[in-house]
């Protein structure tokens, strides 16, 4: 799976939220200052070429939809982060976030309970 740029990921987040959208719909959700129509259209076409989105024709335009699930991309991104920065160790990654982000005991217990449920 190819990596996304920040701009591509921003557009994907919107498509995951909306499920289907044309370029104008995507622009409506983007924060100010709004990018140009052509910019968003180009990013969506790049996402299509990377295999993240597809489209269906609607009148003279296209309605885009994600073909990659958000959870699949999240898992891949998390695994890449763990491999690149924590030598593939989940323990090292969690330890880092506990130390640097002041995760409180209740939050950590919740995470451990989630892990236990998914075993």
**Shared domain check, 60 and 17:** yes
| Model pLDDT, residue 32 | 95
Mean pLDDT on 15-36: 97
Is 76 a member of any domain? no
**Shared domain check, 13 and 59:** yes
Contact 26, 40 (CB under 8 A): yes
Is 72 a member of any domain? no
Supply the pTM of this predicted model.
0.77
Domain boundaries, position 95: 89-119
Contact 24, 40 (CB under 8 A): no
| Model pLDDT, residue 67 | 97
Phi and psi, residue 38, nearest 5°: -60, -35
Q: How far is CA 63 from CA 5, 21, 22, 46, 88, in A?
A: 22, 5, 5, 15, 39
Total structural domains within the chain:
2
- Per-residue pLDDT of 82-107, as tens digits, reads 899 999 888 888 788 778 876 777 88
Mean pLDDT on 38-50: 97
Nearest to 65 by CA among 84, 78, 51: 51
Any idea what the CATH number is for the domain that residue 48 is in? 1.10.10.10
**Shared domain check, 49 and 93:** no
**Shared domain check, 109 and 59:** no
pLDDT of 1 > 80? The answer is no
Query: If you ran DSSP here, which 8-state letter would residue 21 be given?
Result: B
């Amino acid at each position: 799976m190819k990596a996304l740029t920040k701009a591509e990921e921003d557009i994907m987040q919107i498509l995951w939220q909306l499920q289907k959208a044309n370029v104008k719909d995507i622009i409506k959700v983007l924060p100010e200052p709004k990018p140009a129509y052509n910019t968003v259209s180009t990013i969506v076409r790049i996402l299509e070429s990377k295999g993240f989105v597809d489209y269906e024709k609607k009148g003279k335009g296209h309605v885009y939809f994600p073909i990659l699930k958000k959870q699949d991309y999240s898992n891949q991104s998390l695994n890449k982060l763990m491999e690149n920065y924590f030598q593939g160790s989940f323990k090292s990654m969690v330890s880092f976030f506990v130390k640097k982000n002041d995760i409180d005991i209740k939050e950590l217990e919740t995470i451990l309970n989630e892990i236990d449920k998914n075993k």
